Homo-oligomer: A and B are copies of this chain.
Amino acid sequence: MNATQLNVGIIGAGRIGKVHAETIAFRVPEARAISIADVNREAAETVAARCGIPAVAESADQILANPDIQAVLICSSTDTHADLISRAACAGKHIFCEKPIAHSLAKIDAALAAVEQAGVKLQIGFNRRFDPNFSRVRTAVARGEIGAPRLLHIISRDPVPPPISYVKVSGGIFLDMTIHDFDMARFLIGDEVEEIYTAAGVMVDPAIGEAGDLDTALIVLRFRNGVIGMIDNCRQAAYGYDQRAEILGAVGKIATENCYPNQATLSLGDGVRRDLPFNFFMERYTESYTAEVRAFVLSVIEDQPTKVTGLDGRIPVVMGLAARKSFDEHRPVRLDEIQ
């Protein structure tokens, strides 16, 4: 045991819980996971074995009650996030929580109030900020490499839509998918959005429309500082995960391209081709998952503010609600209309 290591408990051993457990085990020597829980105990046991986590807890409660645990990673389903944040805060644990905190502002506010009161740290899992491509774009803006930003483009398309069963509980495309892009927009520009206009439709699968949701959207953002932004979302891109951003500024532009598993190009008689980009977030954002968890651990150890705060978790939900309202009312909606 290493005295300087942060003791972490992991709540949720699903897809992303497993990723974070592996990160803690294999790539963040400053921390170790000492307990993991999941409603599916077997899942927790598998991850524990894989990652050398010594204990599998009966429940999230058991993890929160464990006095040796200093911080928790909340990787359970979205509907449990807000409540777990509140309880973890009350238990004095520092908290890393997957996005979104909740689909309701009331729940989010309650959770954030608990965190505030407890004085613990909270980081929300907007991992894309830690991607080397998007962080390079942010750096260019922050350093003034492109001058004052004028126009922002975010392209964010999934390879395939989620199952309809998931769509129904997802909170809708704006809270489930666009939420990452709302965060990205704020992060890249370094300013707040004032107004949103949404053009959207159901183009991928009518069943998504029947579930009351949309699958394709173009969302216009007006920032306080005058920048005009645009998010392009589609639940389906035949060629794989499409994750790009571009900013035009007063003295230049910066644009980032997709990432590919290899840099090989094949020139044949009928065209020049390359293999597809990384297919989905697990491959595309590998580095960012490591970096965000490491950043959280270091924030706790060094007693620094986290890089993605509770407020950073709240605002994109407001933006998602505004985006839907704009679509429903067919007009631009100001964020201050959302309570």
Contact = CB atoms under 8 A, between A and B. Distances in A.
Contact of A29 (B50, B236, B239, B253): B50
Given A220-B197, A228-B200, A269 B256 contact: no
Contacts of A242: 253
Interface string A250-276: 111111111101111111111111111
A274 to B, nearest CB: 5
Interface residues of A, number: 73
A235 to B, nearest CB: 10
A256 B263 contact: yes
A277 B170 CA distance: 39
Nearest to A51: B29
Contact of A254 (B157, B257, B265, B332): B265
Contacts of A151: 216, 218, 232, 234
A203 B276 CA distance: 32
A268 B238 contact: yes
A113 B248 CA distance: 42
B276 A272 contact: yes
B232 A153 contact: yes
Given A266-B252, A266-B254, A273 B273 contact: yes
Nearest to A217: B228
Nearest to A153: B232
A279 to B, nearest CB: 11
Contact of A265 (B218, B236, B255): B255
Given A239-B252, A272-B274, A273-B273, A266 B230 contact: no
Given A201-B228, A238-B251, A262 B150 contact: no
Contact of A263 (B239, B250, B259): B259
A25 interface: yes
Contacts of A217: 228
Contacts of A201: 226, 228
Contacts of A253: 237, 239, 242, 266-267
Contacts of A105: none
Interface in A212-244: 216-218, 220, 222, 226, 228-230, 232, 234, 236-240, 242
Contacts of A2: 49
Given A267-B252, A269-B252, A261 B218 contact: no
A38 to B, nearest CB: 20
Contact of A26 (B26, B237, B266, B275): B26
Interface in A158-211: 197, 199-201, 203
Given A199-B220, A253-B267, 18 more contacts: A25-B26, A136-B264, A137-B264, A146-B268, A148-B203, A157-B248, A197-B197, A197-B199, A218-B220, A232-B248, A238-B250, A238-B252, A251-B268, A252-B267, A255-B265, A256-B265, A257-B263, A273-B273
